[in-house]
Structure 1
Amino acid sequence: MKIDRHRFSVFDLFLQIRQKISMQKNGSGENPTYLSNSLSRWILVLIFIGAGIALGLLANRLPDRVPDDAPATAFSAQRAMRDVHAIAARPHPTGSPEIEETRRYLMARMTALGLDPQMRTQDAVSARRYTKEIAPAGRMRNIVGVYRGTAPALPAILVMAHYDTAPLSPGAGDDTSGVAAALEIARALRAAGPLRRSVVFLFTDGEEAGLIGASAFFAADPLRHGIGLVLNLEARGDSGKALMFQTSTGNARLIDTYSRTIKSPAADSLMATIYKRMPNDTDLTVALDKGLAGMNFAFVGHQVAYHTALSTPDRLNVASLQHMGDQLLPLVRSFGEADSLDQQNDDSIFTDLFGLFLIVYPPWVGWLLAFIAAGATFSMTGIALVRRRIGWRNMLAGAGGLLAILLGIATLLMLAIRLAALIVRDVSSPYALIGQFDWLLPATLLLGLGTGALLLGTAVRGQPKPVALFLLVAGLAAALLGTFSAIPLALAIVAALLLWAAMGRPQPLAGWFAGAMTLIALLALVMQILLPNGAHMLVWPLLLLAAPLALLLFAPERAARPVGLAILTLPALLIAGLTARSGYDFFLMMGASLPAVATPFLLLTLLALAPLLWSLRRLQTVGMIICALGLGLFIAAAIFARTPTADNPDMVEAFYIADLDKGRGDWVSAKLDRAGWVHRALTQDGGTAKKGSIAPISKEDHWIAPAKTATFNRPQLLLTAGGAGNAYRLTLQAANRNGGRFMRLYLKPSVELRNIRIMDQVAPGTLKAGDWTPVTFHASGADTVRLTMDAAGKGRVEVQMIELVDQWPRGSKVIPLPPHSIAYRRSGNSLIMARTTLAW
């Protein structure tokens, strides 16, 4: 039987065998079953993709909620929800009157649980600096209680959550769910009796303001020296499984305990490794900076509720809270009885297998697997080259073609999201697209797989010109949509060049696949060097695809037999499941605004399916149709995002600025809404809204309308200087006079100011000459806040102070919100401004 090596695929061989059998039976040369078999191949591919999605869904299943009449020693989310309803009845940001009610509730609950709670009041500066701001500071009131163990001298377990919320959010998810879970853990521990180690429960203040409460605790609290392990509870949304997404370094013992203890794990060292390199922080960041061991847990589903008024107890997924407790309570008990909590030198490599159990191995095993996977790939392709079963040009085409597919998928996904963002550009809600997650996920899947199928068909057919032109047009369009971006255009140009160079003629499957696998092997080794705890993302698929590679290179005639087909299809099924599981987690965190994050996972799925897709009839046509469907879903999602709903409301903002020194007031908003509420709010005093600057409060232009002058008390602002020659000490004293939740001071010196202290607490950084630098102090009340700064030589400094009050001026109109609209950011605030200048 003659086989065309340039057009050969596994199923071509299988069909030729079937055809020969049919010819012997029918006595003719016709193949009446070819079309049906072509259809069956498409069905088989869809089955594999569907099975991968099913495995991904399996990994993200949530436990049944445990009822409130469950045994007292068990964690019950239904019981914890009582605390959620009590605490998250309304927003309670740091410095607000509402947070005082939360403190009283927590003190009473902890007392009833026998934790002997103490409230620690402390002026503190955050351990972290954000943007240009000198690290935020404030008067924090942490609440701490201890469930004493039988060996209290041993280092304790710290269970931590923050009880403050974002300004306009009830915070049922972030982080009332964490507080409620901690209280339910304390209740369950008390029901079971003491552990060896004490368990400290810390509810921090000022996390949303910049980790200020955690900074206060780990800097000066008397209990800090007795802590051996920190378990932090967080949320970024109000649904989804509770991910263990961050650990301290040297986590081998922590992961071993987690693996042995948790029945339904949700963790991946790739995610933990990437999170360390992201600009995100939680209270655990402060503990890790102090060298403590720790683990971080959060659920991140339905992010449209994150920091918004949608984060209510009724919307919180009780099963997500149950999953949080199902992990934390067993961990606290296990660590509470552990002989040692010391950190080790090594970080484990780990990932859960579809939520069923955790796969864990040490770094040396990771290196061994990487070398085995890459070595096997290099060896097989090298032998095949020597034996002339494949050509090196075909391998280069495979490597270049796979890279072209990667860049092509990224280009199309960037085009889609930038087009969607353009469609919703005039919508006031910044979460408009995030609320369309259920549309954007399948849209990304369709567009990514469709682009991959289109480009894979180009490798088979060897006609790159029209597809390369298509990518160039897509990249140019993506670059020009909205604000110009050169990134999608650059990706498209490189992808088009690779297509032109690598796919100029039809490619045989074996050589192309070998080249693609060689590229993955090289990338796996690079990833093993740069991100050793995340390299399993490439190493595992490489290992799974080793057998299909060997079959295609050395025994293609056996590929159509049952065992051969199993060798080809089972790895594809497993890889589709693994990539669906990992890709979903990353898409959940970033994909709604950056769908290209799914590109590597889509690429691995396509590579695993390549032997099944190769030379499939109408592959390019089907790819184009799927691309169109995916792009259409992106457009549909953006169109639906333009219409506010109860689950995806319009987010509106209007606030008042009272410039007392200039004797004027203004109504201000960052964006107008289509319902007209913002316009009515801004023009309520008869003014006309125009774009203008509110610097230094914000660098972006805002809509501003003149307002009636309001009666506010001028905040206290006193600036003095002492010294001579090259040594001057500046002292700034400021105080709120209108019950403000916080104050923000903007300083613009003519010379650099060093040695900044806020309420005698050292602040990092300096005040640069000629720049406005903000300094924020939260929960200041009416007490005087003092800053001291040193200057080398004479100079001058301008100061503008903002006192933020959570209400509009008296006499303002009550303007009801339109249906499906909620207040956001600074809406409902008054910013009271005072100025002073000093030369010395």
Structure 2
Amino acid sequence: MPAERSRRRRRVSSRAGRVPGLILVVVLLGLVAWSVAALQPPAPRPADAPTDEFSAARAFEHVQQIAAQTHVAGSDADAQVVEGLVDTLSALGLDTRVQNSVGAWQYEAGSTEMARVRNVVAVLPGSDPTGRLFLMAHHDSVETGPGAADDAAGVSALLEAVRALAAGPQLRNDVVVVLTDAEEACLCGAEAFADSHPLAAGGGVVLNFEARGTSGPPIMFETSRGNAGLADAFAAAAPHPVASSFAVEVYRALPNDTDFSVLLGDGDFTGLNTAFIDGAAGYHTPQDVPERLDRATLQALGDNALAVARELGDRDLVPLSEAGKDDASYFPVLGRLVRYPGSLVWPLAGAALLGVAVLALVLRRRGISTLRRTAAGTALALVPLVLAPLAAQGLWSLLVLIRPDYGSMLDPWRPGWYRLATVAVVLAVVLIWYALLRRRIGPASLAAGGLVWLAVLAAVLAAVAPGGSYLAAWPALAGAVAGILVAVADNRVVRLAAALVAGAVAVVVLAPTVALFFPALGLRTGVAPSFVATMMVVALLPAVEMLFADPDGERGSWAAVAVPGTAVVLAVACAAVGLSVDRFDAEHPVPSQLVYALDSDTGQAWWASTEDDPGAYTAFYVDGRETLPVDFPYLAGEDVATGPAQAADLPAPGVTPVSDVVVGGKRQITVRVAPQRPGVRLLVLDLSVEGGTVTGAQAAGRDVPDVALGEDRLWITFHAPPPSGLQATFTVDGDGPVQLRVIDGSDGLSGLPGFEPRPDGVDAAGTHSSDLVLVGATTALG
């Protein structure tokens, strides 16, 4: 009986000992929820909101007009959009003009992309300008959808913001509204503006507005270099300051571009780039319609555009128009933007390294852990840091196995439950690892080992991506200081307080990044946000330990099973709910990418798809993989899924020689290329010279960039060609034969032999080549 009473007392003591730990974990989970909720956009304001405020309802009326139909560059529908934009801006009192030009971008040796563009440019004059503030978005849509989010939302946000600016006190600086054309095709509208518009000559500060989804908080994700001054202005003005210097570092490392990239590349501009990115399944698809656009997102986008424009409109733009000395570090914390100079990045990383080193020595001095045990904990901490993100990625692979049509998607239509399941998988892996090792290695040794890797990561990031070092430096430093205090004080109250403070630092720094990186990178590449989630869970180990704490030292503690088991159950439950909730239907279709290509020289035709694993609908047309024997845009040199197609009665573009003369010892050939079928939105001119080089070229009066010249082949992709035809001139050095292969492209597969319309629940994928019809032929030029 005494033994039974003793065991009963130990069980009661164990449960009582875990209660504070349970409360602590609940508080930290609440802080996670608060940190994520603070990122979310506000409720949209109605149409009768005060005139000096931004109203999503008023802006949405513009979205409905702009995105009433697909309006690709050069189309009649886009011409109507341009006309409406001119009327709207003129009615607001702005001096509004249309820039008709030809832009060239995305060029490299042997190739370039060009486009005929119509930029809408309007000026709101300032009272005493110190420079120009440019507000930029693009008015064209992709070929596969009306572009309500991308970028009718950005254009509409600027129209409503400019209305509020024009109705208020005159700003100090000139505000130039630039609504570019052909962004989706080649960024050529922005290039034409930077290259030849008089208002671009002196440069200035640019605020660009984009979208890569249909919802979520607008994120200021890219800046010019030396951004400290602009980051301060953004933080001071933006009512919804969702931004991260780590996002800036990531985007700089990616090959992605927007109109903002073009102006930065010009060298005369600085600025900020903003986009909302959740709801990626609808990006560039027929489902990017006004009804799917989140009005709260539109409100947040417009609030920030208006507030930051007012801030910069009254500031001295001279220092902001040039790159500052360094980049700032900044990140969102509970609705505010924490920021500090880049000069503090290395001191903080160094402090984190020093902190964990001191922690290891204090643990040894206090007899809590030997250096050998701390080293073992450090080595073993690599296991969850590697295994948890891989397990999270494995969950996505399992979901694709269950639902194969996910394979071509960045994110499902309704990813919320899957994201929770992914975080739960991370939590389960870390907790299982911890439960298995905490008695053998020691809780303090494992927690310290995790902090060592965070401190090392802080130093690595300080060297290669300084704007991201904060992610590891602050949790490592806070955890090290807390650990030292606990080791020295050896007091339960101190232990709770230290775990709360260190855990809170880790949560407010890392939870927003996890929440933002899931939509940014998608579940398809969920390993990256999962790694950040793993960092957060590892930093929270001192708080988690209080759920495991067993005062009587019993080895069979139920918590060692129950705590990680709860995470496993949560992961399974969330994944199951996700599979139930996210189903394909007419409004949330399976994406299908299909191209028809016809070579008029041989009469051979193909169906082709860039899908890695073609879905059921696409597989009806393709039966293998190959590189097509002749080059077509978007397919040239690529291993694509293909299948034989019946040759359609489609004429190839006509090539008419205009002149062939020798100038300065070089052959100069001028041709006119005219589409022979309606709806052509692009022309490819593929000139090859046997034994010679192309030393000069011009299309529609615009010189081809020098970078593209000097090879024996020149590939020009010209978007929005003139309906009457495109005139091009080539200068060739060499006496060898010259041939010109010309390809035109139009949208829509209906009417082609063998084509069957997609069934309900399947629709065109969001790519620039979906439903593209390509017809090519070769002309010998002697």
Which secondary structure state, in structure 2, belongs to the residue aligned with residue 644 of structure 1? coil
- Cα distance in 1 for partners of 2:147, 2:197 equals 26
Percent of residue pairs bearing the same amino acid type: 27
Partner of residue 507 from structure 1, selected from 417, 427, 441: 441
Residues 133 and 46 of structure 1: CA distance in aligned 2, closer, same or farther (over 3 Å): farther
- Cα distance in 1 for partners of 2:263, 2:542 equals 49
One-letter code of the match for 1:166? V
Aligned position for 1:211: 187
The structural deviation recorded for 1:304 is 1.0
One-letter code of the match for 1:538? A
Is 1:143–2:77 an aligned residue pair? Answer: no
- Cα distance in 1 for partners of 2:563, 2:190 equals 54
- Cα distance in 1 for partners of 2:352, 2:84 equals 57
Aligned position for 2:655: 716
The structural deviation recorded for 1:665 is 5.2
Instruction: Judge conservation of contact 2:695–2:731 (CA < 8 Å) in 1.
Output: yes
Which secondary structure state, in structure 2, belongs to the residue aligned with residue 31 of structure 1? helix
- Cα distance in 1 for partners of 2:353, 2:589 equals 50
- Segment of structure 1 superposing worse, 629-638 or 341-350: 629-638
- Cα distance in 1 for partners of 2:118, 2:258 equals 18
Residues 421 and 112 of structure 1: CA distance in aligned 2, closer, same or farther (over 3 Å): same
Is 1:453–2:451 an aligned residue pair? Answer: no
Aligned position for 1:520: 454
Aligned position for 1:66: 45
How do residues 592-741 of structure 1 correspond to structure 2 at under 5 angstroms?
Answer: 592-614=523-545, 615=548, 617=557, 618-619=559-560, 622-623=563-564, 626-627=567-568, 630=571, 643-663=583-603, 679=620, 694=628, 695-697=630-632, 698=635, 699-707=638-646, 709-712=648-651, 714-716=653-655, 718=657, 733-739=672-678, 740-741=680-681
One-letter code of the match for 2:521? M
Instruction: Judge conservation of contact 2:438–2:446 (CA < 8 Å) in 1.
Output: no
- Segment of structure 1 superposing worse, 328-337 or 688-697: 688-697
Instruction: Judge conservation of contact 2:124–2:176 (CA < 8 Å) in 1.
Output: yes
- Cα distance in 1 for partners of 2:331, 2:617 equals 49
Instruction: Judge conservation of contact 1:116–1:146 (CA < 8 Å) in 2.
Output: yes
Instruction: Judge conservation of contact 2:389–2:531 (CA < 8 Å) in 1.
Output: no
- Cα distance in 2 for partners of 1:609, 1:60 equals 22
Which secondary structure state, in structure 1, belongs to the residue aligned with residue 524 of structure 2? coil
Residues 702 and 746 of structure 1: CA distance in aligned 2, closer, same or farther (over 3 Å): farther
Residues 436 and 749 of structure 1: CA distance in aligned 2, closer, same or farther (over 3 Å): farther
- Cα distance in 2 for partners of 1:193, 1:65 equals 24
- Cα distance in 2 for partners of 1:570, 1:92 equals 53
One-letter code of the match for 2:103? A
Aligned position for 1:123: 102
- Segment of structure 1 superposing worse, 584-593 or 787-796: 787-796
- For each residue in 1:42-84, what CA deviation from the matched residue of structure 2 results, as whole angstroms up to 9, or x when unmatched? 8447525532431233222221211111121111111011100
Instruction: Judge conservation of contact 1:741–1:804 (CA < 8 Å) in 2.
Output: yes
- Cα distance in 1 for partners of 2:560, 2:671 equals 71
Is 1:578–2:531 an aligned residue pair? Answer: no
Which secondary structure state, in structure 2, belongs to the residue aligned with residue 151 of structure 1? coil
The structural deviation recorded for 1:765 is 3.8
Which secondary structure state, in structure 1, belongs to the residue aligned with residue 205 of structure 2? strand
Aligned position for 2:553: none
Aligned position for 1:465: none
Instruction: Judge conservation of contact 2:450–2:539 (CA < 8 Å) in 1.
Output: no
Is 1:261–2:237 an aligned residue pair? Answer: yes
Partner of residue 743 from structure 2, selected from 802, 805, 809: 802
Residues 108 and 812 of structure 1: CA distance in aligned 2, closer, same or farther (over 3 Å): farther
- Cα distance in 2 for partners of 1:795, 1:42 equals 81
Aligned position for 1:743: 683
Instruction: Judge conservation of contact 1:421–1:638 (CA < 8 Å) in 2.
Output: no
Aligned position for 1:19: none
Query: What is the TM-score of this pair, normalised by structure 2?
Result: 0.88
The structural deviation recorded for 1:31 is 1.6
Residues 774 and 621 of structure 1: CA distance in aligned 2, closer, same or farther (over 3 Å): farther
Number of aligned pairs? Answer: 756
Partner of residue 168 from structure 1, selected from 135, 141, 144: 144
Which secondary structure state, in structure 2, belongs to the residue aligned with residue 202 of structure 1? strand
- Cα distance in 1 for partners of 2:410, 2:495 equals 48
Instruction: Judge conservation of contact 1:749–1:767 (CA < 8 Å) in 2.
Output: no
Aligned position for 2:703: 761
Which secondary structure state, in structure 2, belongs to the residue aligned with residue 398 of structure 1? helix
- Cα distance in 1 for partners of 2:110, 2:443 equals 56
One-letter code of the match for 1:346? D
Partner of residue 332 from structure 2, selected from 339, 352, 363: 352
How do residues 514-553 of structure 1 correspond to structure 2 at under 5 angstroms?
Answer: 514-553=448-487
Residues 347 and 231 of structure 1: CA distance in aligned 2, closer, same or farther (over 3 Å): same
Residues 757 and 456 of structure 1: CA distance in aligned 2, closer, same or farther (over 3 Å): farther
Aligned position for 1:296: 273
The structural deviation recorded for 1:608 is 2.6
The structural deviation recorded for 1:122 is 0.9
- For each residue in 1:618-676, what CA deviation from the matched residue of structure 2 results, as whole angstroms up to 9, or x when unmatched? 536753673476367558757976x5224421233555444333346555556698775
- Cα distance in 1 for partners of 2:539, 2:7 equals 36
- Cα distance in 1 for partners of 2:602, 2:406 equals 30
Is 1:331–2:282 an aligned residue pair? Answer: no
Aligned position for 2:422: 444
Aligned position for 1:401: 380
Instruction: Judge conservation of contact 2:330–2:337 (CA < 8 Å) in 1.
Output: yes
Partner of residue 351 from structure 2, selected from 366, 369, 372: 372
Which secondary structure state, in structure 2, belongs to the residue aligned with residue 118 of structure 1? strand
- For each residue in 1:259-280, what CA deviation from the matched residue of structure 2 results, as whole angstroms up to 9, or x when unmatched? 2212331111111122111111
- Cα distance in 2 for partners of 1:676, 1:359 equals 49
- Cα distance in 1 for partners of 2:476, 2:717 equals 51
Query: What is the TM-score of this pair, normalised by structure 1?
Result: 0.82
- For each residue in 1:568-612, what CA deviation from the matched residue of structure 2 results, as whole angstroms up to 9, or x when unmatched? 223213423432211111111003211111233222222232223
Instruction: Judge conservation of contact 1:162–1:204 (CA < 8 Å) in 2.
Output: yes
Residues 63 and 797 of structure 1: CA distance in aligned 2, closer, same or farther (over 3 Å): same
- Cα distance in 2 for partners of 1:383, 1:38 equals 25
The structural deviation recorded for 1:793 is 4.3
Which secondary structure state, in structure 2, belongs to the residue aligned with residue 777 of structure 1? strand
Runs of at least 5 residues in structure 1 that lack an aligned partner in the other structure: 1-22, 462-505, 683-687
Task: Note the aligned Cα RMSD (angstroms).
Answer: 3.4
Residues 53 and 389 of structure 1: CA distance in aligned 2, closer, same or farther (over 3 Å): closer
The structural deviation recorded for 1:508 is 2.1
